[in-house]
Every structure is written in structure tokens, then in C-alpha cells.
Chain A
Amino acid sequence: MHDFTPISGFAGGALIGLAAALLMLLTGRIAGVTGIVGGLLQPDTADRGWRIAFIAGLIAAPLIAALFGAPLPRPEMNASLVVIAIAGLLVGFGTRMGNGCTSGHGVCGFARLSGRSIVATFIFMTAAIATVAIARHVIGG
């Protein structure tokens, strides 16, 4: 159903990398979405401005694309709302507990060759692959 798109994938990935590199070079921060959002949700965080600005940038990207005719992202999600809510809870709780997600551990951590991040990325990829295998080929199949 979905085609293999290595060129747009690599180009989009390079833009993600450019953003992570610029955030470090300009503000000295790691572009980890979990850390940025999670810090905002803690009462004792002093540096809120840059966090809100980064999140606003993420949400503004598709809105600006829409001005040029792109459709707003309304992704196809087949799971029931209950499963989606459980997934959201697990993603939120797990990324905070493990101190990072695909951006902080996966992109920035790998770029720093951080042992912690490489281990975390290997574990969450494995858990996600196992979950999809069970959902699609054991239960769904």
C-alpha cells in the first residue's frame, strides 16, 4: 500500500538533522521532543520560552505548508480510540521514564554515539517491531 520512498525519506531526514544541528549550534540544546515537551510539563522548569517556540514551530510547519496548497495532516489510524489512548499513555510515560524518544535518543543520541541512547533506540525499536508483529500477524493474522 505504501511505496518505498528512499529519496524523500533521506531528504526529510537531512532536514530533521539540520534542525537538530542548528538547535545545538544556536541555543546549545538537544532537539529531543520528549525532553522539550516534558520539561514544559514540570512546575519547576524556568526556561519555557524556547520550548514553547520549538513546539509552535512543529505545529506551524503543516499550517505553513497548507498555505501553499498542501492538505493538513489527518493521518489514517486504524486502531480504536481506546487503543490509541493506551498507546499515547505508553508513549508519554515511557519516553519520560527512558529520558528520550526517536529524536533525542534515535537521532541526537546516535549522532553523539551515546551508549545509553544506542541501547534505548535498539530496545524501543525491538519492542515496537514485536508489537506490530503480534498485532498484525498473531492477533490480526
Chain B
Amino acid sequence: MPVLASFICGLIFGAGLLISGMTDPQKVLGFLDLFGAWDATLAFVMAGAVAVTASGFAIARRRAAPTFSARFLWPDRNDIDAPLVGGAILFGIGWGLAGICPGPALVNLAGLSLPIVVFVVAMLAGMIGQNLLGKNLWRPRTMAPRAAETASLPSRADG
């Protein structure tokens, strides 16, 4: 059941990206082009998404457990560290170059156009590269045991 629920959520999420225009990189770049012919649509996408998500999360906070699993895995970090800032800068540059972020990249993969396939392969390579390098680059040696201890908690990730 959790797997079926997850598939349906992915389907709704994908439909939302398609309807909103987020899967069109030209539309996304039009929003990011503050100093050109600015298209404010994406602000409305974010507003709709955040409003409904926040309402759903408020309902979830009042429940003891999710319907199909043992507990809610709320992210539990509040610190603003170098990887958060550095990662956001690198992601922003990539997003600005192509107009595609991870969700729309996967939805667009269905059309199998060459630029999208190139983008997704590179994106997965970047993720694998960060998975392999990230710990050594950004976590001091002395923190390694603590990091290993908490790494199994999925709630450490933000999203």
C-alpha cells in the first residue's frame, strides 16, 4: 500500500508540474529573467503548492502516525551550514543555465528528447558524485562517527 500511495502521489505531482508550466524550461527561465520580459507565473505555482502543502502538514501534525507507515519522518535539522549554502548556489547556477530542476527533469524524461536525456544522465552523475565525495569533502574527520551514527535516520534529509 505505501508503494501504491507513493506512485499515485508521484502521478499527481507530475500532473501538477505539467499543468503549472514548470516542465517548460522557457517558462521557468522567463520567471528567473527578472531583468527581461518577466513572467510571474511561477510565484503563483509556489503559492498554490505551499498553501496546500502547509494545510496537509497541519492535518498530519495532529495525527499520531501516517496511514501506511509507523511514523512521520519530519526533517529535524535547523542549522545553516556550508554544504546547505554551497549546494544551493551550485544548484541555482545549474537551474539558471538550463531552466530545469530535478522534478520537471524526470517528468520530461517521458518524451526522451536528447537534451533532457543528457540533462538527467548528468544530474544522476552529479548526485552519485556528491554521494561519493560529499562526506569526505564537507565533514571533518572528528565528526565522522557521529555522522555515521545518525546517517541511517532518513529524517536528516530536508527533501
Give the distance to chain B from A27, nearest Cβ to Cβ, in Å: 5
Q: Mark A45-81, 1 if CB is under 8 A from B, else 0.
A: 0010111011111111111111000101111110101
Contact across chains for A62 and B110 when beta carbons are under 8 A apart: yes
Residues of A within 8 A of B53 (CB): 16-17, 20-21, 107-108, 110-111
Q: Mark B1-41, 1 if CB is under 8 A from A, else 0.
A: 01111111111111111111111111101101111110111
Contact across chains for B122 and A92 when beta carbons are under 8 A apart: yes
A35, A90, A123: the one contacting B97 at CB < 8 Å is: A90
Contact across chains for B13 and A57 when beta carbons are under 8 A apart: yes
Residue B147 at the A interface, CB < 8 A?
no
Residues of A within 8 A of B80 (CB): 115-116, 119
Contact across chains for A123 and B88 when beta carbons are under 8 A apart: yes
**Given A17-B50, A84-B119, A96-B131, A124 and B95 touching (CB < 8 A)?**
yes
Residues of B within 8 A of A104 (CB): 157-159
Give the distance to chain B from A76, nearest Cβ to Cβ, in Å: 6
**Given A85-B119, A89-B125, A91-B94, A60 and B14 touching (CB < 8 A)?**
yes
Q: Mark A119-134, 1 if CB is under 8 A from B, else 0.
A: 1110111111111110
**Given A87-B97, A129-B96, A26 and B2 touching (CB < 8 A)?**
yes
Give the distance to chain B from A102, nearest Cβ to Cβ, in Å: 5
**Given A91-B126, A123-B88, A58 and B83 touching (CB < 8 A)?**
no
**Chain B residues numbered 40-81 whose CB sits less than 8 Å from any CB in chain A:** 40-42, 44-57, 59-60, 63, 65-75, 77-80
Scoring A11, A13, A119 by chain B CB atoms within 10 A of each residue's CB, the highest score goes to A13
Contact across chains for B47 and A10 when beta carbons are under 8 A apart: yes
Scoring A50, A73, A127, A133 by chain B CB atoms within 10 A of each residue's CB, the highest score goes to A73
Scoring A30, A88, A96, A100 by chain B CB atoms within 10 A of each residue's CB, the highest score goes to A88
Q: Which B residues are within 8 Å of any A CB, using their own CB?
A: 2-27, 29-30, 32-37, 39-42, 44-57, 59-60, 63, 65-75, 77-80, 83-103, 105-116, 118-131, 134, 138, 154, 157-159
Known: A54-B9, A89-B126. 18 other contacts (CB 8 A): A24-B66, A25-B59, A25-B66, A28-B72, A30-B74, A33-B101, A53-B4, A53-B6, A57-B11, A57-B14, A61-B110, A63-B110, A74-B116, A77-B25, A77-B116, A99-B83, A111-B53, A132-B36
